[in-house]
């Protein structure tokens, strides 16, 4: 069993990422291979998932808790995500059962990418518990198979998930494009209007998009080039270019989703009000100072610079239906926490109260 320490808890913290060029479709459902490359910004620890993992011969089955609730490992969605644990166990040649306890500091499944930070933290903590010494790139290939977007949370700053071409997925990994120091002025303002679960999961939304979207084909024709242009824009710290590409890609993904049948609509009236408010702000400023983007949910995330943060806040304050605004700088990626952060009681092998 090499360096595996059974009965010893590892805990990791990871953060969500916001997609600036969206992942929206799979070329292989089982391996979670995307039909296009995507780019994201990793958020800071203001929003986070903390996950503790222990492997023990005393456990009679795998157990998985999120926010204090025991998850049903026979549920298809949960099972697919938890499959990364088997991949990691196989690498380590371990057959002991696992207890995984995870906590999100923000609403689960409301388009705020809790699956990205949750799976990233689980993979990171498990790699340490099993002492398998995988590189972040190797871990991104594993995390990708639990939830596509989670592979990008393994790195800080601006991250690219490469589409890859190989059938086995070995070239579809995430990598850092710029660390958080490259353009530290960039911030993300998250305007939460809804914390309810999304009606259509991103997984089934994407499946339908690939199956019957008409506009989807033109998305594929434009998106790789947009990713290159975005990297250039960020490289030059050019907000005019960066901001426009971010907004257009969000609009493009949501238009593509609306174009499938039956239509998928993640945006609501408040989302549309935010879109108008940001265009109004940019018009008043005579240049792009803020860019909205939406993942698979109605909550807007507005990328701006520290200098313009207050202007964005004032625009948002005029929209009554946004009770909660969170600001995040760029994060550094996941890290391992000390024993005092453990969510597991090692004596009872149960979640800590």
Residues 101-120 that bind ligand PMV (CB under 6 A): 115
Q: Does 16 bind ligand PMV (CB under 6 A)?
A: no
Q: 165: closest CA among 31, 39, 308?
A: 31
Query: Minimal distance in Å, beta carbon 150 to ligand PMV?
Result: 6
Candidates 117, 194, 202, 260: give the one binding ligand PMV (CB under 6 A).
202
Candidates 36, 295, 299, 315: give the one binding ligand PMV (CB under 6 A).
295
Candidates 35, 102, 117, 147: give the one binding ligand PMV (CB under 6 A).
147
Cα angle 57-62-66, degrees, rounded to a multiple of 5: 130
Q: Does 203 bind ligand PMV (CB under 6 A)?
A: yes
Nearer to ligand PMV, 115 or 299 (CB): 115
Q: Does 148 bind ligand PMV (CB under 6 A)?
A: yes
Nearer to ligand PMV, 181 or 212 (CB): 212
Nearer to ligand PMV, 10 or 37 (CB): 37
Separation CA 323–CA 333 (nearest Å):
28
SS3 (DSSP) at 265? coil
Q: Can you spell out the DSSP letters for 11-61?
A: EEEE--EEEEE----EEETTTTEESS-EEEEEB-TTS-EEEEEEEETT-SS
Q: Does 243 bind ligand PMV (CB under 6 A)?
A: no
Query: Minimal distance in Å, beta carbon 206 to ligand PMV?
Result: 7
Q: 86: closest CA among 126, 124, 144?
A: 126
Nearer to ligand PMV, 8 or 105 (CB): 105
Place of tokens 């879109």: 275
Length of the chain: 353
Separation CA 291–CA 285 (nearest Å):
13
Query: Minimal distance in Å, beta carbon 339 to ligand PMV?
Result: 31
Nearer to ligand PMV, 180 or 295 (CB): 295
| Number of residues counted as binding ligand PMV (CB under 6 A) | 12
Query: Minimal distance in Å, beta carbon 117 to ligand PMV?
Result: 11
Nearer to ligand PMV, 110 or 282 (CB): 110
Separation CA 88–CA 143 (nearest Å):
10
Separation CA 153–CA 122 (nearest Å):
12
Q: Does 71 bind ligand PMV (CB under 6 A)?
A: no
Using an 8 Å Cβ cutoff, are 115 and 150 in contact? yes
- Residue ranges in contact with ligand PMV by CB under 6 A: 19, 22-23, 38, 115, 147-149, 202-203, 295-296
């Amino acid at each position: 069993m090499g360096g595996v320490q059974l009965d010893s808890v590892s805990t990791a913290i990871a953060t969500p990422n916001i997609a600036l060029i969206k992942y929206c479709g799979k070329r292989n459902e089982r391996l979670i291979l995307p039909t296009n490359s995507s780019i994201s910004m990793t958020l800071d620890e203001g929003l986070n998932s903390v996950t503790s993992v222990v492997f023990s011969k005393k456990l009679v089955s795998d157990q998985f808790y999120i926010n204090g609730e025991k998850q049903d490992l026979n549920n298809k969605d949960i099972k697919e995500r938890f499959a990364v644990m088997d991949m990691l166990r196989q690498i380590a040649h371990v057959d002991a059962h696992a207890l995984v306890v995870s906590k999100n500091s923000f609403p689960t499944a409301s388009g705020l990418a809790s699956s990205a930070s949750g799976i990233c933290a689980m993979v990171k903590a498990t790699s340490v518990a099993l002492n398998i010494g995988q590189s972040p790139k190797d871990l991104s290939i594993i995390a990708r198979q639990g939830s596509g977007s989670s592979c990008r949370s393994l790195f800080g700053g601006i991250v690219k998930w490469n589409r890859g071409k190989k059938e086995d997925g070995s070239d579809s990994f995430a990598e850092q494009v710029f660390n958080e120091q490259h353009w530290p002025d960039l911030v993300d303002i998250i305007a939460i209007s809804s914390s309810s679960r999304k009606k259509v999961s991103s997984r089934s939304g994407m499946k339908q998009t690939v199956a019957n979207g008409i506009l989807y084909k033109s998305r594929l024709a434009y998106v790789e080039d947009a990713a290159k242009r975005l990297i250039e824009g960020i490289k030059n710290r050019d907000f005019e270019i960066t901001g426009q590409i971010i907004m257009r890609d969000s609009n493009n993904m949501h238009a593509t989703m609306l174009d499938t049948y039956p239509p998928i609509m993640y945006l609501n009236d408040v989302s549309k009000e935010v879109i108008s408010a940001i265009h109004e702000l940019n018009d008043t400023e005579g240049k792009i100072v803020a860019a909205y983007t939406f993942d698979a949910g109605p909550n807007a995330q507005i990328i701006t610079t520290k200098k313009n943060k207050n202007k964005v806040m004032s625009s948002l304050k005029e929209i009554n239906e946004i009770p909660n605004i969170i600001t995040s700088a760029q994060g550094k990626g996941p890290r391992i926490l000390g024993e005092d952060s453990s969510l597991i009681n090692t004596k009872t092998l149960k979640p800590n109260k």
